[in-house]
Amino acid sequence: MTETTVGGYLAARLSEIGVRHFFTVPGDYNLILLDELLKNDDLQMVSCCNELNAGYAADGYCRATGGPSVAVVTFSVGGLSLLNSVAGAFAEDLPLIAVSGGPNTNATSEYELLHHTLGKVDYDYQREIYSRVTASAVVIQHPADAPAQIDQALETALRANKPVYLEVACNVANAPVSLPHPRSFDRLRPSDPKSLDRAVDHAAQILNEAIKPVLVAGVQLRTGNAESAFHSLADVSGYAVASMPNAKSFFDEQHPSYMGIYWGPVGTPGCGEIVETADRCLFVGPLFTDYTTTGHAAMIDRTKIIEVRTDCVVVVGQTYNNIAMSEFLAALSVKLDRNDTSLTAFKRIEEGRPQLSNGPNDEALTTRRLFARIQHLLDPKCDVLVETGDSWFNGVNLSLPLGSRFEIQMQYGSIGWSVGATLGYCLGRPDRRVIACIGDGSFQLTAQEVSTMIRYGAKPIIFLINNGGYTIEVEIHDGPYNTIKNWNYAQLVDVFNGDDGTGRGCRVTTAGELDDAVAKALKHDGLSLIEVQIHRDDCSRNLLEWGGHVARNNGRPPRHS
């Protein structure tokens, strides 16, 4: 063989960079492309119920594998449906490759009006829209250009840890092109040596002069591929270590230096006090948003911070550019003096985790009892996904064993994300037990993808928390719009099973019923959905406080110049 097709070239490169599944919804503009992708035995097609869910599944797949993912859709009606999930992946730094079929290359020159479009002879609008939520947006219309365009887009996704958009004209997908010759796709650029040395020297000097320095993990630790280097730095430095809420599980929660979650006034008791009274704080990969700072209620003194970003380091106001996060942390570890003063201070004020009483088996369920039971489920082969809402706060309070991962979409916060993400996560890590905590309001947006989990043999345990509405919005600003129509959620599993599915659904209202349902789920070889009936006003104390701070931040009156 001396040639392949455009679609065959794309398939080979996707396999080469570690993709094993692609999530799709067919449409006439992408059918030939799907034919070409299916010829590659290393790729498995996963047919989703809609494009939004396919994108959420690709998001979850990125998180599970640590690598890229792929969603393949048709032009306009498919691409614009996918858009919201791609925007979420952009916000969360995930290398999702959005592939769309495109109009025939002759359509514009022959002034054709086409279906699925805006009714104008202008077919670049989808690329223009995607250019706002991707690191690169490319339209492939000439077969000879396709290999270079594909390689460049994939390299951009991997290096930027951001989505890219590839549109393949429908009459080009099976056109002949060069074979994909071997090459490397390096994910990280090396640091500029001079900038790295100076940043390390400056940071080491500042930290070694500090009396009570602390170390805080941020969400971009994953983006910078620096979790291992962060752990090594924690071991060497002796500093007390905290994680921001969207970085939970990026640092070993059983580590002797771990304090808990730094989330301003709603974090782990004692943790915020130590971080906010430290004379130097080394934040690695943070995003200081209204959500991660509890409506900017966290008292972070920016003059005391050393902030390590994915491509630069800011040492108390001085910026050093072109620095790889992992290289900086490794070099800094060599130059730091050990100092456990902040850890000793935390141990003095540390509060033990509250002991949750089991109570009688006929007792009505509460969120405390539910998450106490989930805590009991966790082992090193368990991963937890939590949906936007009260599950954030209850999930963040779980104590994770070494090896267990925790996923949250805090930056984008698109409700319904976790259903599709659970599908993608299960397929990306089939060796794991995946536990998903999803509120009823969020579930109603994307429920169809439970059927896809059943179809492809995913086996999560889904706790569907039914409290009759959008609890997180209730605590920010209540109104009649936060009440939803109740469903018989557990019975949906029978609908989604069809004639050949093995999913299991049940509804529980008491502590004893919950324990029985969990025991059966652990023995069941298939998806389990446990609908948990919770009182509408039952939510975590931290959500109440967090919601108040966020509401005040949202409600500030306009400033007039």
Q: What is the pLDDT of residues 202-257, one digit of tens each?
A: 999 999 999 999 999 999 999 999 999 999 999 999 999 999 999 999 999 999 99
Q: Are strands 240-243 and 176-178 parallel, antiparallel or unpaired?
A: unpaired
pLDDT confidence of residue 470:
64
Residue 112 lies in a domain: yes
Same domain, residue pair 423 and 373? yes
Same domain, residue pair 300 and 380? no
Residue 187 lies in a domain: no
For residue 524, the one-letter residue type is H
Identify the band that residue 153 occupies on the pLDDT scale cut at 50, 70 and 90.
very high
Mean pLDDT across the stretch 124-146?
A: 97
How many CB atoms sit inside 10 A of residue 70's CB?
Answer: 27
557 or 279: which carries more pLDDT confidence? 279
Same domain, residue pair 55 and 89? yes
pLDDT confidence of residue 475:
57
Out of 315, 349, 383, a domain closes at 349
Identify the band that residue 358 occupies on the pLDDT scale cut at 50, 70 and 90.
low
Same domain, residue pair 174 and 212? no
pTM over 0.85: yes
pLDDT confidence of residue 477:
60
476 token code pair: 């920010």
DSSP string across 34-78: HHHHHT-TT-EEEE-SSHHHHHHHHHHHHHHHSS-EEEEE-TTTT
91 token code pair: 């916000």
Q: Which domain holds residue 328?
A: 193-349
Mean pLDDT across the stretch 377-393?
A: 94
Same domain, residue pair 21 and 119? yes
pLDDT confidence of residue 16:
97
Tell me: pLDDT of 489 over 90.
yes
Phi, psi of 352 (to 5 degrees): -65, 155
* Per-chain mean pLDDT for the chain: 93
State the CATH number of the domain containing residue 284.
3.40.50.1220
Q: For residue 489, what are the contacts with CB-CB under 8 A and spacing of at least 6?
A: 440, 443, 464, 466, 505, 507, 529, 531
Out of 115, 143, 178, a domain closes at 178
Tell me: pLDDT of 538 over 80.
no
pLDDT confidence of residue 242:
98
State the CATH number of the domain containing residue 108.
3.40.50.970
Tell me: pLDDT of 88 over 90.
yes
Mean pLDDT across the stretch 515-525?
A: 97
Same domain, residue pair 66 and 7? yes
pLDDT confidence of residue 383:
98
Same domain, residue pair 112 and 168? yes
Q: For residue 195, what are the contacts with CB-CB under 8 A and spacing of at least 6?
A: 320, 321, 322, 323
Residue 60 lies in a domain: yes
Tell me: pLDDT of 277 over 70.
yes
Same domain, residue pair 457 and 397? yes
Identify whether the C-beta of residue 90 lies closer than 8 Å to the C-beta of residue 162: yes
Q: For residue 430, what are the contacts with CB-CB under 8 A and spacing of at least 6?
A: none
Residue 392 lies in a domain: yes
Same domain, residue pair 153 and 239? no
Residue 358 lies in a domain: no
Tell me the torsion sign for CA atoms 407, 408, 414, 415.
positive
How many CB atoms sit inside 10 A of residue 260's CB?
Answer: 25
Residue 343 lies in a domain: yes
- Rounded to an integer, what distance in angstroms lies between the CA atom of residue 471 and that of residue 533? 14
Same domain, residue pair 539 and 414? yes
Out of 316, 349, 382, a domain closes at 349
pLDDT confidence of residue 539:
72
Residue 237 lies in a domain: yes
Residue 336 lies in a domain: yes
Strand partners for 469: 483
- If one counts the domains in the chain, the total is 3
For residue 229, the one-letter residue type is A
Same domain, residue pair 215 and 129? no
Mean pLDDT across the stretch 514-528?
A: 97
pLDDT confidence of residue 359:
65
Same domain, residue pair 233 and 334? yes
311 token code pair: 């491509």
Write out pLDDT tens, residues 445-474: 999 999 999 999 999 999 999 987 666 666
Rg (CA), the chain: 25
